[in-house]
Structure 1
Amino acid sequence: MNLLQSGGGLLSVSTLASDLGVSAETVRRELRLLEKEGAVTREHGGARLIAKAFEGPLMQRMEENAAAKQRIARAAAQFVHDGMILFIDAGTTSCFIAQQLVDYRSLTVITNSLQVATDLGGINDNRLFLAAGQMDYAYRAFSDHTAQQYISGFTPHLSILSVGAIEKTRGLMDFHPGEAAMSRIAYATSERVLLGADSTKFGRYGLIHTAPLSSVDILVTDAALDDDYAEAFQQAEITIA
């Protein structure tokens, strides 16, 4: 269980067997028992932690590729300095980045995310502007028309955004209409946009187009880009975490 937690919630049988110094069959037997107890769910070749019910869908998503997102967050924080005006969206990678900013001072934080507001509000002389409206409990965020209108009035130095999917020809895409609209506003109003995206987002198709790849000023990801994507993001400052 400790290995699964430190590994972002998902590990293969072979990795667990190697780390624990036991056979793969021993690991499979123990995973079957843990699955009966409701602690894990077995997947092909491995197992995933089951998030606690009280944590909700946001925390479940934050467990996905958590190690990569934490590396991205540490690298992304280097683009922030004290006194900046930031918009931070409600995506999981953005939430990880916000956690890396708790020692910065005098930030003006604009967000639609309750998680980001909790992490950065009320500390270090920060100012916090939280969009309101109807809450989306799955995201712990506000992204309806009321929230969109509120966010559109700000002009951040830097917007820190997540993304649902990235495809060479179709650009940046998301799966949530409200969050896609928030991203469009950020691209339109910010001086610069930092996109945090782990490697699983590349080559995926999303539901709603948000922006072309050329709109990204800073791309922080966890793996080197292939030639096609490197060319597509040639205008951006690229950091591999």
Structure 2
Amino acid sequence: MLPDERRNFIYSYLHQYARVTIGDLAKLLDVSHMTVRRDVQCMEQEGKVVTISGGVKLNEVLRQELPYLEKSMLHHQSKRSIGAAAERLVESGQVIYLDAGTTTYEAARCIASKLKKVTIITNDFTISDFLMNMPHINLFHTGGQVDIRNRSCVGNSAANFIRSLNIDVAFISTSSWDIEHGLSTPDEGKAQVKQAVLASARRNVLVSDSSKYGKYGMFHICPLNELDDIIYDDLLPETIEEKLKLMHIGLHKATLH
């Protein structure tokens, strides 16, 4: 395995498990402890990870998101449960926005399966491809600058199209959120799109599994109190739930089955 492949593996692994020991990484990669330490040192210099006693964890400051395919393989059960909970907020005849992401893809699957006649706007190519042949879905894609890594459109062109719309319910994804920093992203183009959605939608709903909580990116999107609802999985710590309840946001816990 080449150095870049090892480092991508480590970064992906940490998105799933949050932290890992040097010894476990050496076994997983079948390399020496010294090789792992060199990889970790390089990743730390890039700002992606932080070394801890005997191991490594993700940096709370998110520098880069995982590619779409890698994200789709993580926390799948949580995303499916969140998608099912999102569908219950949708009524026939509504205009729905589905943000780019693997959790919103699960929401798209659930909405389509209920055969509700709705209009869906999305900036996500995977979602639009899935919905394209659904006769009960009136589908719009935002267009705009293509983000190949995340299979979506970002930037001002996409944002300007969204600003021209009146949206009933927007399901917004994020790679990073917490009470202190609100919603954020390491990508300026994504921030522009999400801020346009927040301004255009009557009801804004964050959909996020608990692994995204406690991280923040360079570009601030909004404080949490600008959201109407948050749909999350039952792995979010109770202490965080209690703090969220004080913010008077509609909270919907998607229970894993």
1:69 equivalent in alignment to 2:65: no
Looking at structure 2, the residues matched to 174 and 108 of structure 1 have their Cα atoms a distance apart, in angstroms, of 27
Kindly report the root-mean-square deviation, in angstroms, between the aligned alpha carbons of the 2 structures: 2.6
Q: Deviations over 1:116-136 (max 9, x none)?
A: 111223313321111112311
Instruction: Kindly indicate whether the alpha-carbon contact (under 8 Å) linking 1:134 and 1:142 is maintained by their aligned counterparts in 2.
Output: yes
Looking at structure 1, the residues matched to 109 and 141 of structure 2 have their Cα atoms a distance apart, in angstroms, of 17
Instruction: Kindly indicate whether the alpha-carbon contact (under 8 Å) linking 2:155 and 2:193 is maintained by their aligned counterparts in 1.
Output: no
Q: Deviations over 1:146-205 (max 9, x none)?
A: 111111111110001111211222211112211111111111110001111111111112
- Residue aligned with 1:159, SS: strand
Looking at structure 1, the residues matched to 210 and 16 of structure 2 have their Cα atoms a distance apart, in angstroms, of 16
- How far did residue 100 of structure 1 move? 1.3
1:238 equivalent in alignment to 2:248: no
Written as runs of structure 1 = structure 2, the 5 A alignment for 1:30-41 is none
Out of 181, 193, 199, which is 1:170 matched to?
A: 181
Moved >4 Å (runs of 4+): none
Written as runs of structure 1 = structure 2, the 5 A alignment for 1:26-175 is 57-103=67-113, 104-175=115-186
Q: Which amino acid counterpart does residue 142 of structure 1 have in structure 2?
A: C
Q: Which amino acid counterpart does residue 78 of structure 2 have in structure 1?
A: A
Out of 198, 213, 223, which is 1:202 matched to?
A: 213
TM-score, normalising length from structure 1? 0.73
Question: Which residue of the partner structure matches residue 46 of structure 2?
Answer: none
Instruction: Kindly indicate whether the alpha-carbon contact (under 8 Å) linking 1:214 and 1:232 is maintained by their aligned counterparts in 2.
Output: no
TM-score, normalising length from structure 2? 0.69
- How far did residue 230 of structure 1 move? 3.2
- Residue aligned with 1:102, SS: helix
Q: Which amino acid counterpart does residue 144 of structure 2 have in structure 1?
A: G
1:213 equivalent in alignment to 2:220: no
- Residue aligned with 2:126, SS: helix
- Residue aligned with 1:135, SS: strand
1:226 equivalent in alignment to 2:238: yes
Instruction: Kindly indicate whether the alpha-carbon contact (under 8 Å) linking 1:88 and 1:161 is maintained by their aligned counterparts in 2.
Output: yes
Question: Which residue of the partner structure matches residue 6 of structure 2?
Answer: none
Looking at structure 2, the residues matched to 69 and 110 of structure 1 have their Cα atoms a distance apart, in angstroms, of 20
Unaligned runs of 5+ in 1: 1-8, 12-28, 34-43, 46-55
Looking at structure 1, the residues matched to 169 and 242 of structure 2 have their Cα atoms a distance apart, in angstroms, of 22
Looking at structure 2, the residues matched to 229 and 202 of structure 1 have their Cα atoms a distance apart, in angstroms, of 11
Looking at structure 1, the residues matched to 166 and 132 of structure 2 have their Cα atoms a distance apart, in angstroms, of 19
Deviates more, 1:80-89 or 1:217-226: 217-226
Unaligned runs of 5+ in 2: 1-14, 18-26, 31-53, 56-65
- Residue aligned with 1:160, SS: strand
